[in-house]
């Protein structure tokens, strides 16, 4: 069977076949996923930033609020209100570091862990319906690729002078 130009990833003139830019493909998908998360988070009484905090914290305390803000790519001054709310709701602990009382150790409470797990399970249930549209091999490769790309150091490092979206 003859191979055509599209199968080789080229046009009939030999130029590479145009594909959409990655952002043109990923941004609408990201927006749709965030829109699908919104009612789940609302039902659990969480903002996107509060959910990001709960996802990042666990039994092992994060040593500073600034470290947490950097890890979730939030502005350290704007995250304080999110932390105040989560602490008031007894979803996180903020306690002085015994080695440096100016520093606050942050960790999840049992209720914070329960709420995080419930919200995450509901979100991932919706994601599973989307992923089910892919053949198993494509799905596994897609998830592996997203995990690899999202963990690249140049994507996870904070840019100097760059704030984040609102808390």
Indicate if the pLDDT at residue 153 is higher than 90. Answer: no
For 3-58, the pLDDT digits (tens) are: 554 555 666 666 777 889 999 999 999 999 999 999 999 999 999 999 999 999 98
> What is the set of domains in the chain, with CATH numbers?
36-134 (1.10.10.10)
For 117-143, the pLDDT digits (tens) are: 999 999 999 999 999 999 999 999 999
Q: What per-residue confidence (pLDDT) applies to 134?
A: 95
Give the pairing of strands 92-97 and 100-108: antiparallel
User: Inter-axis angle of helices 136-150 and 110-131, to 10 degrees?
Assistant: 130
Indicate if the pLDDT at residue 160 is higher than 50. Answer: no
Residue with the bigger pLDDT between 67 and 119: it is 119
Q: Specify the length of the chain in residues.
A: 167
């Amino acid at each position: 069977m003859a191979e055509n130009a599209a199968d080789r990833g080229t046009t009939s003139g030999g130029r590479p076949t145009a594909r959409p830019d990655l952002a043109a493909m990923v941004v609408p998908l990201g927006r749709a996923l965030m829109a699908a998360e919104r009612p789940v988070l609302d039902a659990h009484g969480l903002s996107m930033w509060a959910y990001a905090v709960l996802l990042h914290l666990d039994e092992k305390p994060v040593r500073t609020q600034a470290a947490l803000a950097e890890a979730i790519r939030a502005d350290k001054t704007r995250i304080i209100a999110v932390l105040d709310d989560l602490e008031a709701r007894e979803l996180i602990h903020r306690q002085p570091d015994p080695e440096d009382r100016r520093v606050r150790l942050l960790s999840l409470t049992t209720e914070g862990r329960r709420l995080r797990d419930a919200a995450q399970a509901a979100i991932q249930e919706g994601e599973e319906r989307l992923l089910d549209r892919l053949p198993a091999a494509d799905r596994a490769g897609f998830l592996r690729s997203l995990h690899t790309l999202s963990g690249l150091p140049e994507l996870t490092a904070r840019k100097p002078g760059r704030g984040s979206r609102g808390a």
